[in-house]
């Protein structure tokens, strides 16, 4: 049969007269037993800054297409990349959120102070019904984080019942009175958030007991078997994972979370700018990004000792780059621009998750709109797509495809006495037998020639797209929204059973072979 190849590439324009360096990629096409869950491509929307209010949920007087107060241009953009799940209401906010304050007639809902993020007063106009309407518009699964830090077992239990129970109970009558007859049947539930920190400053031993208690009363209802997710480790806290895996019955938890952010400087008190950085800081940022592979490997190894059948998923439900806020913005709103560097971080991290798909079965980029490594930035009625958005668009082919294990031999990217791998990759086969390969070259000076033997596969034709710009600091701004945007690419060849790709500096490549 005729075969074709669809190729997407994102890179900044760097002089193509740079040195050519050789990389070999070997694919194990006969070993495709692991599925890359689409839920790895999930997202996160906290009541933080302008993510919910003035992001998804806008002033009723704003003259843009919307349903109720949900802005539909944002919904349409996210539908295009098929986001599989959306985590809400936090984050740290989840452990001070009381769900009953966000239901019923909006004018009667009590106001609250968001003590974690900017000290602003929220009117609770965006609550449970509004969030689940947003998920319905997006065609995505809701992932709700319950309040363990300042809440009660009863409070979470009743929230699950309100959302998932049918029949005649006081809570189902309350839900119906608020306009929803049928249960939503929400499956994904986080039992607390960052319980080692803002969620209660607990020890792992104490939290393990709390999880068992809360999970016991977070009931399954017909058609709504819960996937309970335990609040896992902060970055390299391997003891936290050890204690939870040892203390919590594995049939009580579907997943165990992990949070890790890429901080350019490695210092939380002065993280570095989102747009003004030199190559030394760029190198350090990419080195910190690649630490995710070590983290996932080590946490997964601990989980393997207690759960060799890999029943419990590793859920990296907060990840991304965290920089200093943009000058002149509220420091509690965590608004940062999004550069080509961030696209390289997103692509590299998604490659890491894909290659660990036997254990990593869910992840959530922080955050969707206007906060941290956002996919979308808004300014009044205006909006733009960030370079990170385009990476998620390019990587869609991996969703629910079968992982193709690979081995890559590539040069190092060297800065002073330090070095990191210059190229990373992942690959998958979809239900139609099409092969997707995603490649990242983080080296800012050198081209890479990628050689991939594909004997006997019969692939012939190559089509492609390219996302490029002049520097790793380039961004999409409201004055120039398409500075970093895809264009046609012709830099790959199939000849004599070998795929050859000329991978420019600072580039992300996605290949689809059919």
Q: Which of 25, 24, 32, 26 is nearest to 434 (CA)?
A: 32
Q: Do 332 and 439 reside in the same domain of the chain?
A: no
Q: Do 15 and 43 reside in the same domain of the chain?
A: no
Where a domain ends, among 364, 383, 400? 400
Cα of first residue to Cα of last residue in the chain, in angstroms, is 10
Where a domain ends, among 355, 380, 400? 400
Distance (Å, whole) CA 453 – CA 504: 20
Mean pLDDT calculated for residue range 473-482: 96
Q: Which of 137, 5, 1, 10 is nearest to 509 (CA)?
A: 10
Q: Cβ contacts of residue 357 below 8 Å, gap of 6+?
A: 34, 35, 36, 37, 40, 403
Q: Do 345 and 361 reside in the same domain of the chain?
A: yes
Instruction: For residue range 407-461, list pLDDT tens digits in order.
Output: 999 999 999 999 999 999 999 999 999 999 999 999 999 999 999 999 888 888 8
Q: Do 377 and 473 reside in the same domain of the chain?
A: no
The total number of structural domains that make up the chain: 2
Is residue 136 in a domain?
no
Q: Do 316 and 171 reside in the same domain of the chain?
A: yes
Q: What average pLDDT does the structure give for the chain?
A: 94
Q: Do 61 and 48 reside in the same domain of the chain?
A: yes
Is residue 172 in a domain?
yes
Is residue 202 in a domain?
yes
Instruction: For residue range 121-177, list pLDDT tens digits in order.
Output: 999 999 999 999 999 999 999 999 999 999 999 999 999 999 999 999 999 999 999
Where a domain ends, among 336, 366, 400? 400
Q: Do 241 and 345 reside in the same domain of the chain?
A: yes
Q: Do 354 and 308 reside in the same domain of the chain?
A: yes
Is residue 450 in a domain?
yes
Mean pLDDT calculated for residue range 310-336: 97
Q: Note the pLDDT of residue 452.
A: 95
Dihedral Cα 162, 185, 255, 214, nearest 10 deg: 20
Q: Note the pLDDT of residue 5.
A: 37
Q: What's the whole-model pTM score? A: 0.94
Q: Do 267 and 243 reside in the same domain of the chain?
A: yes
Instruction: For residue range 201-252, list pLDDT tens digits in order.
Output: 999 999 999 999 999 999 999 999 999 999 999 999 999 999 999 999 999 9
For the annotated catalytic residues, the residue numbers are: 194, 318
- Whether the CB-CB separation of 110 and 101 falls below 8 Å is answered with yes
Distance (Å, whole) CA 362 – CA 92: 19
* Burial of 110: CB neighbours in 10 Å, binned 0-12, 13-18, 19+: exposed
Q: Note the pLDDT of residue 6.
A: 39
Domain residues for the domain of 247 are 38-94+145-400
Q: Do 430 and 469 reside in the same domain of the chain?
A: yes
Is residue 293 in a domain?
yes
For position 483, which CATH number holds? 2.60.40.1180
What count of residues does the chain have? Answer: 514
Distance (Å, whole) CA 275 – CA 284: 15
Q: Do 237 and 190 reside in the same domain of the chain?
A: yes
């Amino acid at each position: 049969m005729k075969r074709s190849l669809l190729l997407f590439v994102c890179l900044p324009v760097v002089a193509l007269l740079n040195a050519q360096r050789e990389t070999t990629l070997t694919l194990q096409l006969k070993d495709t037993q692991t599925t890359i869950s689409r839920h790895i491509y999930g997202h996160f929307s906290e009541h933080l800054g302008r993510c919910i209010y003035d992001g998804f949920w806008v002033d009723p007087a704003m003259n843009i297409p919307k349903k109720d107060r949900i802005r539909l241009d944002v919904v349409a953009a996210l539908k295009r990349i098929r986001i599989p799940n959306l985590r809400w209401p936090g984050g740290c906010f989840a452990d001070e959120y009381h769900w009953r304050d966000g239901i019923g007639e909006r004018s009667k809902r009590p106001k609250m102070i968001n003590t974690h993020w900017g000290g602003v007063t929220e009117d609770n106009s965006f609550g449970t019904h509004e969030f689940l309407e947003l998920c319905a518009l997006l065609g995505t699964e809701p992932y709700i984080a319950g309040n363990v830090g300042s809440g009660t077992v009863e409070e979470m239990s009743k929230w699950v019942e309100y959302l998932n129970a049918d029949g005649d109970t006081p809570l189902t009558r309350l839900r119906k009175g608020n306009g929803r007859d049928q249960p939503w049947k929400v499956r994904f539930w986080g039992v607390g958030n960052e319980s080692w920190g803002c969620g209660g400053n607990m020890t792992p031993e104490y939290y393990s007991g709390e999880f068992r208690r809360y999970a016991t009363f977070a009931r399954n209802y017909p058609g709504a078997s819960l996937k309970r997710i335990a609040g896992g480790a902060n970055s390299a806290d391997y003891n936290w994972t050890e204690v939870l895996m040892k203390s919590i019955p594995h049939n009580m938890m579907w997943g165990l979370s992990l949070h890790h952010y890429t901080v350019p400087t490695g210092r939380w008190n002065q993280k570095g700018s989102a747009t003004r950085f030199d190559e030394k800081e760029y190198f350090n940022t990419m080195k910190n990004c690649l630490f995710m592979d070590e983290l996932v490997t080590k946490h997964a190894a601990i989980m393997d000792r207690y759960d060799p059948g890999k029943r419990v998923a590793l859920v990296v439900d907060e990840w991304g780059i965290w920089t200093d806020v943009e000058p002149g913005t509220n420091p509690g709103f965590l608004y940062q621009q999004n550069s080509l560097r961030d696209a390289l971080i997103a692509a590299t991290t998604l490659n890491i998750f894909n290659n660990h798909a036997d254990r990593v079965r869910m992840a959530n980029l922080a955050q969707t709109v206007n906060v941290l490594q956002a996919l979308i930035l808004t300014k009044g009625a205006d909006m733009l797509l960030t370079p990170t958005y385009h990476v998620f668009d390019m990587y869609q082919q991996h969703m629910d495809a079968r992982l193709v294990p690979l081995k890559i031999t590539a040069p190092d990217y060297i800065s002073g006495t330090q070095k990191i791998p210059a190229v990373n990759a992942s690959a998958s086969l979809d239900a139609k037998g099409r092969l997707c390969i995603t490649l990242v070259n983080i080296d800012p000076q050198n081209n890479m020639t990628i050689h991939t033997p594909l004997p006997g596969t019969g692939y012939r034709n190559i089509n492609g797209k390219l996302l490029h710009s002049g520097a790793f600091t380039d961004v999409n701004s409201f004055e120039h929204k398409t500075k970093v945007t895809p264009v046609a690419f012709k830099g790959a060849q199939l000849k004599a059973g070998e795929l050859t790709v000329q991978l420019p500096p600072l580039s992300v490549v996605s290949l689809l072979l059919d």
